[in-house]
Amino acid sequence: MRLTPAESDRLQLYLATLLARERRGRGLRLNVPEATALIAHAACEAARDGVRVDEAVTAACEVLTAADVLPGVAHLLTEIQVEAVFDDGTKLIVITDPIPADDDPRTAPGAVLAAAAPATDYAAPVTITVTNTGEVPVSVSSHYHFFEANRVLAFDRAAAYGTRLALPVGSVTVFEPGTPRTVTLTPLGGDRVVIGFAGLVDGPLDTVGARERALHRAHTDGYLDTGSAIAQEGHPA
């Protein structure tokens, strides 16, 4: 039997529909190709039964719900196009949003599922004034351990220990020479282990004596500090 390309495509769609029905019958939730096959087949069969285009679209949209498909499928299938044979000829059926989404943003493709925030006793965000005593602008990125920022920046180092700029990821703040600037700092999260940067900490932030040792190194290395006299003294490593 010789088939036209359109007839061959229609048979392939029917085979895909049979497979989708079989899997759905076993209680499986459908993926994108399976859901597409069922919906497109329903539209074609409605057209073959002699309905109008809009009625074929309606029939196709009643085939599946979000509960019948895998998470994210309803968001991915925004449009299905299929050629169907009507009583007055072949027409293209365009089915928009054939599966009603469940409106749960967690099921959208690429959704970020955040874990429950662990209980912490981190300090609240602090606001400090920073002055660039150098001759050129200094840029500090969002997740740099601000305590270890450029040594020509004068600010309360002790207050900045264990914090970063309260900025979106990848953002920077520029400190112009001689111009005081007030910034907000937020505590570093996670395991609170700081490695690298200026090498003033190079380890856990919250172990006993870590803050005092880091302050001592900062003062020894010439990092400007406008903090209290006690902070200026530091402690030997």
pLDDT digits (tens, 9 = 90+) for 85-118: 898 888 999 999 999 876 555 555 566 666 655 5
The pLDDT of residue 235 is: 42
Give me the chain's average pLDDT, please: 87
Q: What is the pLDDT of residue 103?
A: 55
Model confidence at 156, pLDDT cuts 50, 70, 90, reads very high
For the CA atoms of the chain, what is the radius of gyration?
32
Residue 204 C-beta-side C-alpha neighbours within 13 Å: 5
Q: Which two tokens stand for residue 187?
A: 């505590």
Tell me what pLDDT residue 21 has.
Answer: 93
| CA torsion through residues 112, 116, 120, 126, sign | positive
Percent above pLDDT 90 for the chain = 69
For tokens 């895909």, what's the residue? 16
Per-residue pLDDT band at 8 (split at 50, 70, 90): confident
This prediction's pTM: 0.48
Confidence of residue 207 (pLDDT cuts 50, 70, 90): very high
CA dist 81 → 19, 24, 38, 68 (Å): 20, 22, 13, 21
Distance from C-alpha of 75 to C-alpha of 206, rounded to nearest angstrom:
44
More confident residue, 169 or 157: 157
The pLDDT of residue 229 is 45
> Strand, helix or coil at 32?
helix
What span, in angstroms and rounded, lies between the C-alpha atoms of 136 and 52?
72
Mean pLDDT lowest among 17-26, 68-77, 199-208, 220-229: 220-229
CA 205: distance to chain centroid?
27
Rounded to whole angstroms, the Cα distance separating 8 from 172 reads 58
- pLDDT attached to residue 234: 42
User: What is the 8-class DSSP label of residue 211?
Assistant: H
Q: What pLDDT, on the 0 to 100 scale, is given for residue 233?
A: 46
Residue 97 CB partners (closer than 8 Å, separation 6+): 61, 77, 78, 79
